[in-house]
Amino acid sequence: MGHNLLKGKRGIITGALDENSIAWKVAQKCHEEGATFTLTNAPIAMRMGAINKLAEETGSKIIPADATSVEDLTKLYTESMNVLGGKIDFVLHSIGMSVNIRKNIPYTELNYEYFNKGIDVSAMSFHKMLAVAHKMDALNDHASVVALSYIGAQRTYPFYTDMADIKAMLESIARTFGYHYGKQKKVRVNTVSQSPTKTSAGGGIKGFSEFFDFAEMQSPLGNASAEDCASFCIALFSDLTRMVTMQNLYHDGGYSFTGVSQEQLAAMGK
């Protein structure tokens, strides 16, 4: 049951691959809250076809775009504005991929070709999405742009290898672009630092399941689910947060500020 928090707003949602994707839940909640939006993903991801179900459910058009291609992103904004009937009010960047992680390559031995690919897909694509929108003047005043991040950008997690550096870059782009876009057009740019979440991207990390349980033990509120993350994104897309920008906002049940929990200490004693 929605509250019409996004009534009349137009958006673009990247990264819905299957129903576990965080972006999938965001799209469902945006629909519930009265927004209209387009869905996009890399052409290769379309082959799996699951996104068609989401498009049908939310009455959205799918516009394939490789987020590393400025040409594809230009088409994405042009078509989105045509389909939705005006400039865009919110954008979700929910894109992450590391070949080094997929291939279990340790941080001290990173393959630089894969590292570059990871940067391009997972961080530079955010700059490109913002830069193309800026150049086309595709976003309304006070529009809200959100990208998803992880605390590996601030603290070391051995399994997160090059994504740690890539997420640090993503968060820096939010601050720096947020400054310029805020000054010129009052557009807001933030990152949400989400708990470990059971999705394709998350599940691809070695030892993810053990770490998911570890984080659950550490967080006073428990791990934040994809649905909770979607609700937080709705708050950030809505007018209720119109003065929030250039922030990295932890959405993690209190994990980031907990040194150690009683449950973790008890587990060590076993």
Summarize as ranges the residues that interact with ligand NAD (CB under 6 A). 14-15, 17, 21-23, 41-42, 45, 66-68, 94-97, 121, 148-150, 194, 196-197, 199-202
- Shortest distance, CB of residue 39 to ligand NAD, whole angstroms? 10
Contact 123, 177 (CB under 8 A): no
The answer to whether 133 touches 67, Cβ cutoff 8 Å, is no
Name the residue nearer to ligand NAD (CB basis): 22 or 54. 22
| Residue 139 exposure: Cα atoms within 13 Å on the Cβ side | 27
Cβ at position 186, least distance to ligand NAD in Å: 25
In the bound state with ligand NAD, the residue whose beta carbon lies nearer, of 68 and 140, is: 68
Tell the smallest beta-carbon distance from residue 52 to ligand NAD (Å).
14
In SS3 terms, 47-61 reads as CCCHHHHHHHHHCCE
Shortest distance in whole angstroms from residue 86 CB to ligand NAD: 24
Q: How far is the CB of 4 from ligand NAD (least distance, A)?
A: 26
Q: Treating both helix axes as pointing N-terminal to C-terminal, what angle do 161-185 and 112-119 enclose, rounded to 10 degrees? A: 30
Q: Which is nearer to ligand NAD, 34 or 55 (CB)?
A: 55
Written as one string, the DSSP assignment of 12-33 is: EEE---STTSHHHHHHHHHHHT
Instruction: Write out the H or E segment, with its range, that includes residue 144.
Output: strand 139-149
> 142 vs 211, which CB is nearer to ligand NAD?
211
- Distance in Å, CB of 226 to ligand NAD, minimum: 7
| Six token digits for residue 191 | 């990152």
Closer to ligand NAD at the Cβ: 45 or 119?
45
Q: Which position has the token pair 């053990």?
A: 210
Q: Which is nearer to ligand NAD, 23 or 164 (CB)?
A: 23
Interhelix angle for 22-32 vs 50-58, to 10°? 10
